[in-house]
Amino acid sequence: MASSLQPWVLLLILPLLSLVLSSAALAAVFNDNFVAVGGTDSNHLVDQGTSVHIVLDKSSGAGFSSKEAYGSGFFHMRIKTPPGYSAGVVTAFYLTTEPEQGDHDEVDLEFLGNVDGKPVILQTNIFLNGKGDREQRIELWFDPGADFHDYKILWNPYQLVVFIDDTPIRVLKNLAPGQFPARPFKIRASIWDGSGWATDFGKIKVDWNRAPFTTVFQDFDVDGCRATGGAPCGSPSLPWNGIQSLTPAQWDAYKDAKSKHTTYDYCTNKDRAYAQLPGECNNN
């Protein structure tokens, strides 16, 4: 049974399974599972079958959403952000409850563009009940605009883990009620103008003379449990629910990435007052 496999085996199998499934019906995958939202004209969201391009220019950004909400899963996208100068431009890949405002939950991966020669920052954040003050930032150790990389979010009843390729960069264990997302998520992606804050705290704005800015997404199959299907999304028969912890090698990779590339972590921000630090701060 899949649930009896070791976690490291499951982590290898799931991306390979996704690749097989997507290669079988790649041209129809986006339309099967996703729909354009915002910037829906052909100039801002371009579906090329094997990839989708979302475009930011002075008139509009763009985005897309999964048609279904999911109660657990191992969600992933292959992403290539705008190449070269991209200061002020934000590309987002995230999970969100609906409606996407007010008392909602959200798991964010936001790529914060930069000037030529400076690394792109990846900011992750977790919103619970509308409160999103759990930002962590890392400098990417590669150029995300030069080639595609895999960005993955494992979310099951035991933990939430964000991966870049196979490296964990954020780990939230389900240790206490109210400190872990439990409501169904939709999968979202977008590109937008973050001039007010994204690059050097908003000092560097989008240079519209360099527009348009384009982010490319691939792999639109979804390894997730549909929340509307009536199936128990916490079932141990679902392969991603068998991944209850990282392996020792993954913990080492996580700690190495955090120690070398972190530029901000809310856990160490002494200006913020927490009655009790969230449990993930013990991972550091």
What DSSP line would sit under 83-110, residue for residue? PS--TTEEEEEEEE-SSSSSS--EEEEE
pLDDT for position 278: 75
| Number of Cβ within a 10 Å radius of residue 35 | 11
Of 159, 162, 150, 151, nearest to 241 (Cα)?
159
Q: What gap in Å lies between CA 76 and CA 97, rounded to an integer?
A: 17
Q: What gap in Å lies between CA 153 and CA 138, rounded to an integer?
A: 16
pLDDT for position 192: 98
Report the catalytic residues: 106, 110
List average pLDDT for each run of 10 residues in the chain, which is 284 residues long. Answer: 50 52 49 86 85 96 96 97 98 94 93 97 95 94 97 97 97 90 96 97 97 96 88 92 96 97 93 74 71
User: Are 106 and 127 in contact, with CB atoms under 8 Å apart?
Assistant: yes
User: How far is CA 197 from each of CA 19, 42, 88, 178, rounded to the nearest angstrom?
Assistant: 36, 28, 8, 29
Kindly report the pTM of this predicted structure.
0.88
**What three-state secondary structure class fits 60?**
strand
SS3 content of the chain, % helix, strand, coil (to 5): 20, 35, 45
State both tokens at 75.
Answer: 């969600």
Q: What gap in Å lies between CA 211 and CA 134, rounded to an integer?
A: 31
State both tokens at 73.
Answer: 């899963």
Which pLDDT tens digit goes with each residue over 75-85?
999 999 999 99
